[in-house]
Structure 1
Amino acid sequence: MNKAIRINIAINKALTRSLTEYLKSLNLRNIFVETGRTSTLNNGTGLFGLRPKTPLAYDPVEIVSIFVHQSLEDDLMAGVFHTLDLKTPGRGTIQSSDITIIKAHPSFQICSQLQIPPQIPASFFTDLRAIACVVQRGEGDAVARVSLKAGASVPVTTYGIGGGVRDKLGLLRITIPPEKEVIDLVMSKYDIDSVMEMFISEAKLDAPGRGI
């Protein structure tokens, strides 16, 4: 088992090329990319002052994940932060977490050496916690609204397929669909318990087949 750092960068799709070119210039070989969306409250008004049709507004994003040695964490995060100008609202976010790699393909290696140019140190929030909520496809907005209304975090939603046994619920024996939405949030450790309780209540996660 190896200790490493996972760096997640969720950026506007228009910035993907700039990010990949920067990472390639550092000779990073293993880069994982998935497509998703971020959600914000749609508080504006539409045509003729009418309320918008949907309570949320969506922006397409790409989530880039990198696995590096712990010694590279600060410099690499600062480099991405300054290269993409992430201090500007709407451009994206970057976060890191400690992980333990139990098993990996022989061709996969944790990056331990990079020629990163000297960086101006970047200031990041600490003492944060992550929540991953998995719900049925189309039901992720309920979870996203809870987080946004509470001011806890901007959710990042990705998509997946459930790999478990497809149970049947109810008298009509309705099969649970395999398509899922995964909502990832990062927030203060002081908010996490109350936000999780709101998730469970709003999305009815304590009912069978609703999500986890």
Structure 2
Amino acid sequence: MNHISCYKLLITVVRKGRAKTIVKASKEAGAEGGTTFIGKGIGIYEKKFWGIPVNQDKEIVFTLFPEKIIDPLFNAVTEAGRLEETGQGIALVIDVTNLAGIAHFCDLDAKKRHNMQQASGFELIVTVVNKGNSEAVVSASKRAGAEGGTILYGRGTGIHEKETLFSIPIEPEKEVVLTLIAADKTEAVLQAIRQDTGLDEPGRGIAFVLPVDKTTGIKRLEAEAKSGGAVFSS
């Protein structure tokens, strides 16, 4: 029996100005709050990205929450953000294997945990690169078949102050690209990112893959993934 975290991470991508609505709905559903990032979406089509105009900035909300409220929280955020409507945004849930500052853990055997992680059929590629290199990450992803990506910008108030993403220091000159992808296509997209951005060279950046438990706002792409034809991004 493995001791793992009782918490999960909800990532919600919405239009600029909508993050407060998501955070409010999350709190009402039992979460303690959320962290909001400013970013933008870049899609394979010039005018729209998942039905959302690309010339609009995005807000990305990270919400750490107890697993026991996953259904009411997911439903509350979906309703508050109108995420089932085309072009309103997306949300996905990621398993948290360990954490600090919250001393609550669950007993869950490895097989059950693996089944939970594979339930959605999607994975999230997180790429951290130097400022100005995020476009190369998105371009590589699209070359490998993804539809684009969501770019986050690290923000700090001083040269020695840092923010963190998944416990990784993010300085103001860093950019983070989130790419949601069908699990069977992850390797091809990851390799394209490595080749185009030189991630294997020291100081160029990092990329890692996380399993996704649940998604909303991507009905068409979920259907395509089930039929074996989709590779896409967040």
Task: Give the TM-score, by structure 2 length.
Answer: 0.62
Q: Which amino acid in the other structure matches residue 82 of structure 1?
A: E
How many angstroms apart in 2 are the aligned matches of 1:178 and 1:76?
31
Q: Is the 8 A contact 2:124 2:181 kept in 1?
A: yes
- Tell me what 1:62 maps to: 59
- Structure 2, unaligned runs of 5 or more: 48-53, 105-118, 160-170, 207-234
Aligned residues: 171
Residue 183 of structure 2 is aligned with which of 173, 184, 189?
189
How many angstroms apart in 2 are the aligned matches of 1:43 and 1:126?
28
- Structure 1, unaligned runs of 5 or more: 45-56, 111-124, 164-176
- Tell me what 1:81 maps to: 78
Pairing 1:38–2:35 present: no
Q: Give the aligned CA root-mean-square deviation in angstroms.
A: 3.0
How many angstroms apart in 2 are the aligned matches of 1:83 and 1:160?
26
Helix, strand or coil for the counterpart of 1:14? coil
- Identity value in percent: 24
Per-residue Cα deviation, 1:68-122 (whole angstroms, up to 9, x for no partner): 2222112211221123221223211100011134321xxx687xxxxxxxxxxxx
How many angstroms apart in 1 are the aligned matches of 2:144 and 2:131?
23
Residue 148 of structure 1 is aligned with which of 142, 145, 155?
142
Q: Which amino acid in the other structure matches residue 36 of structure 2?
A: V
Helix, strand or coil for the counterpart of 1:39? strand
How many angstroms apart in 1 are the aligned matches of 2:185 and 2:135?
20
Pairing 1:127–2:121 present: yes
Give how far 1:209 is off.
2.8
How many angstroms apart in 2 are the aligned matches of 1:58 and 1:145?
17
Give how far 1:193 is off.
0.5
- Tell me what 1:206 maps to: 200
Q: Is the 8 A contact 2:15 2:89 kept in 1?
A: yes
Give the direction of change, closer, same or farther, for the CA distance of 1:42–1:200 in structure 2 (3 Å limit): same
Task: Give the TM-score, by structure 1 length.
Answer: 0.68
How many angstroms apart in 2 are the aligned matches of 1:98 and 1:151?
25
Q: Is the 8 A contact 1:41 1:145 kept in 2?
A: no
- Structure with the greater alpha carbon radius of gyration: 1
